[in-house]
Amino acid sequence: MSLLVDLKFVSSISHLLRNFKKKADYLWNFSCPICGDSKKNKLKARAYILRSQKNRDRLAFKCHNCGESFYFDELLKRLDESVYKEYVYDSYLERTDGKAQQTEKKEKPPAPTPFPKKTYRPLKPTALIGCPSIASLPPEHPAKTYLLERKIPEPFLKQLYWTDDFPSVVDKVCPGHQFALKKEGRIVIPFLDANFGLIGMQGRALDKNSIRYITVKAFEEAPRIYGLHRLGNTLNKKRIYIVEGPFDSLFLPRCLAVAGSDIPTGLPIDQCLIVYDNEPRKPETCDKIAKAIQRGYRVCIWPDTIKEKDLNDMVLSGYKPDKLRDLIDKHSYAGLEATVRLQHWRKY
Ligand SMILES: [Zn+2]
């Protein structure tokens, strides 16, 4: 528990609190959810979240009508069990981060760092409140088992979610499209923009009889791209990888997944490396590579020694993600050389 984590979660429950208003730094006012505050006058608001007097590193809840008061985490627990679980997980990360830094300090004097260490912790989109992150699920949950078996890197399990009722989440992200969908559980893969705004999502079914992936956009013009939030500053000239599947994209840094659509326009072409699946017998894949070369992109032409179909399969057969990246970089070509390589690679 820390002030930082508490502060982050205030916005996660604000929509559950009637007449919620920020009054000052560390002070929010709303109608008390415990006593109803009040049955007669819906405008009454006598409850507060504020910095605890006993422990300045925590927020607390206090109602001046019913007199209830407790720490902020207790309020979370009573309002939304799944948000509370997220909170417990984040607090755990915060504590272990802190510990790691403390032991480092003991071992050697702190070296001056030119840049402050960046902590990468995107906020959960509001539309997904109520969906637990995969990380917070018990180990025997089928979604967690599935992703761990696919060797998805653990940090990303915090950015993938689960819902027992996919249509109800679709209703929140993109109202009006949920009626055609079967009520079932799915892994939720949120498509975020560079500012961590939700622009769409993909639902992955675990049931083999269901449509495997369903993609919805939050608004009509939203690009069908997963991973824009991972790009960071594109002006630094670092390479951007573009792959097909969202799960595959998690094995490479600064990697986008096009999720079945075309390569988006607007990216710096000279920085992009297109990595399509290893399907030399599939005409569609070969055509897509040819088109990318024509548009001036650098593409990966897999060596014949690789038999696996996609990045995830390669990881499952023993490739470490950094070796995979080396392999891709080494087998990337542009222009005429790419065209020649493609001619040799295609098998139909
Ligand atoms: Zn009250």
Global confidence as pTM: 0.67
Q: In the 8-state DSSP scheme, what is residue 158?
A: G
Distance 28 CA to ligand 1 centre (A): 14
Distance 344 CA to ligand 1 centre (A): 73
Q: Is 163 in contact with 192 (CB distance < 8 Å)?
A: no
pLDDT of residue 166: 94
What residues are neighbours of ligand 1 (ion), with CB under 5 Å? 32, 34-35, 63, 65-66
HSE on the CB side for 270, CA within 13 Å? Answer: 3
Q: In the 8-state DSSP scheme, what is residue 224?
A: -
Distance 21 CA to ligand 1 centre (A): 16
Distance 74 CA to ligand 1 centre (A): 14
Cα separation, 100 vs 118, in Å, equals 15
C-alpha distance across the termini of the chain, in Å: 59
Distance 11 CA to ligand 1 centre (A): 20
HSE on the CB side for 307, CA within 13 Å? Answer: 3
Distance 26 CA to ligand 1 centre (A): 19
Residues 6 or more apart in contact with residue 74 via CB below 8 angstroms:
61
Distance 34 CA to ligand 1 centre (A): 5
Max CA distance (Å), the chain: 78
Cα separation, 191 vs 203, in Å, equals 11
- Helix, strand or coil for residue 104? helix
Return the sign of the alpha-carbon dihedral for residues 274, 278, 283, 286.
positive
Cα separation, 272 vs 249, in Å, equals 14
Distance 25 CA to ligand 1 centre (A): 22
CA-based nearest residue to 285, from 310, 321, 306, 314: 310
Q: In the 8-state DSSP scheme, what is residue 30?
A: E
Token couple for 313: 């399969």
Distance 128 CA to ligand 1 centre (A): 28
Distance 89 CA to ligand 1 centre (A): 28
The number of beta carbons lying within 10 Å of the beta carbon of residue 266 is 7
Per-residue confidence in pLDDT tens, the chain, 348 aa: 788 889 888 887 888 889 999 998 899 999 999 888 887 888 899 999 999 989 999 999 999 989 999 999 999 999 888 788 888 878 877 777 655 555 444 444 444 444 434 444 456 788 898 899 999 999 999 999 999 999 999 989 999 999 999 999 999 888 777 667 889 999 999 999 887 889 999 999 999 888 899 999 888 888 889 999 888 766 678 899 999 999 999 999 999 999 777 888 878 899 999 999 999 999 999 999 999 999 999 999 999 999 999 999 999 999 999 999 999 999 999 999 999 999 999 987
